[in-house]
Structure 1
């Protein structure tokens, strides 16, 4: 398996699969259109965020989208993992862990001393994040009314 930045055709494939990635990541709560995905991702890429993809041969197995964000209270910037996705047929092979480790290393090399991410409660990826050393920082709660 190789983890690297995507070429143009691979990037287009990532974008075409991103609605499914967001659907899975939100545990089926959000089913964004291609246009909505573009609206969410374009500003991140313009600010320097980038994808790393996991491939084997011609197979795109998954990706991670990493970049920077700023704490609204302290104005401190930190590394941020915006998206982690492994295509269903490749899950259970440690690809998420490898993508996370590579993304974390890239963010370290980019000079960040802290990395944050957001994840839906109940998402199976939480177990991986905890094994890698992530801890709860904030909790967003909701109540239907």
Structure 2
């Protein structure tokens, strides 16, 4: 397992999978077009975000997209995990945990004292996040009108 900051070529390699990642991560709540997913990632990268990739068999097996946000209430800069995805053929090998640990270490080195993420109800990744020390601090509810 080799985890590194993504090169431009690796970003191009993961781009076709971004919509799939967001759809799966949101449990189907978001089904966005590829260009929208690409723009979201580019916006994070343009705001000093980073992508780390894990490689296996000379292919990108997964990625984590992270950066910083300003808490709208306290004004504090916080780390934020925007996307964590492991391609289906590479799951259950510890890649997600290793990428998260790398991203958390990097955010700590950048001076972050806390890190947030959004996980949708029913997403199996929630168990990993809890094992890594994340805890719920709010619930967002939705009602279609």
SS in 1 for 2:75: coil
Contact 2:66 2:82 in 1 (8 A): yes
In structure 2, the residue matched to 1:134 is 134
| DSSP-derived class of the 1:111 partner | coil
TM-superposed deviation, 1:29: 2.3
Detail structure 1 runs of 4+ shifted over 4 Å in the superposition.
Answer: none
Using the TM superposition, give the Cα deviation of residue 95 of structure 1 relative to its aligned residue in structure 2, in angstroms. Answer: 0.8
Asked if 1:122 corresponds to 2:119, the answer is no
Instruction: Provide the aligned C-alpha RMSD in A.
Output: 1.1
| Aligned residue pairs, count | 145
- 2:75 aligned partner: 75
CA contact (8 A) 2:18 2:38 kept: no
Number of the residue aligned with 1:44: 44
Is 1:8 the counterpart of 2:8? The answer is yes
Q: Alpha-carbon deviation of 1:45?
A: 0.8
Consecutive unaligned residues of structure 2, counting only runs of 5 or more, are: none
TM-score, length of structure 1 as denominator length = 0.95
Shift of 1:74: 1.1
Please, which runs of 5 or more residues in structure 1 have no aligned partner?
Answer: none
Q: Cα distance, 1:3 vs. partner? A: 0.3
Q: Deviations over 1:86-143 (max 9, x none)?
A: 0001111111111111110111111111111011111000000001100111110112
Distance in 2, Cα, partners of 1:92 & 1:56: 13
Report the alpha carbon displacement of residue 40 of structure 1 after superposing the two structures with TM: 1.5
Tell me, in whole angstroms, the C-alpha distance in 2 between the residues paired with 1:74 and 1:42: 26
